[in-house]
Amino acid sequence: MHPSAYKNAEYFFKKYCYQHINEKIVVDVGSLNVNGTMKPIFENALKYIGIDQCDGKNVDIVGSSHNIPLPDQYADITISSSCFEHDNMFWISFLEMCRITKQNGYIYVQAPSDGPYHAHPVDNWRFYKDSWKALEGWAILSNYNIELIEGFVDSNTDGVWHDSLGIYKVKEVMQNES
């Protein structure tokens, strides 16, 4: 995790999550510690669960982000940092994040808006400020009642990466129509 990604996760935590964190369940999607992790930021959470497609440090559950093996409305806070650019179908992962997040919970996604190619194992996407509003629309179209509360590209980065952030709040949970 590059330094600006960590700083942006701290910003999210301090602004939205620090109160009663000891009562919150946090799920980290794409949690494998390649070069850092958000776990220290959320160390006082009631429970912190790391999910990744590969086993390794900071991974509690090995599984696909396209089919997260947790029940609906499980997490108070769902986070993902520096992973969506590597996800062949990030929009499916985002819907899974919406599914597992409780009403009044938060979803935090950080991904690069630019920067060098860095396959892990692939590097498919870059995200701009408008990307997060588009994902909000996709979630609403898919019957998830979420609201983008912040979406921006951080100009105070470490020079190589320009982090793009989407921060969402899950509103009243809608019933999916079958």
Beta bridge partners of 111: 164
User: What residue has token string 């909000």?
Assistant: 136
- To 5 degrees, how large is the angle CA 154–CA 143–CA 174? 105
Span 106-121, mean pLDDT?
90
Dihedral over Cα of 38, 15, 63, 44: its sign: positive
| d(C-alpha 81, C-alpha 38), whole Å | 8
Q: pLDDT tens-digit profile of 37-71?
A: 999 999 999 999 999 999 999 999 999 999 999 99
176: pLDDT strictly greater than 70 = no
- State pTM to two decimals: 0.94
| Phi, psi values for residue 86, rounded to 5° | -100, -5
Alpha helix segments (H runs only) across 26-150: 90-100, 129-141
Q: Quote the distance between the C-alpha of residue 61 and its chain's center.
A: 16
| pLDDT tens column, 133-157 | 999 999 999 999 999 999 999 987 6
Helix axes 90-100, 129-141, angle to 10 degrees: 60
Which single residue is written with the structure tokens 């669960």?
49
pLDDT at 157: 67
Q: Cα separation of 126 and 69, whole Å?
A: 27
Residue 151 backbone phi and psi in degrees, to 5 = -145, 120
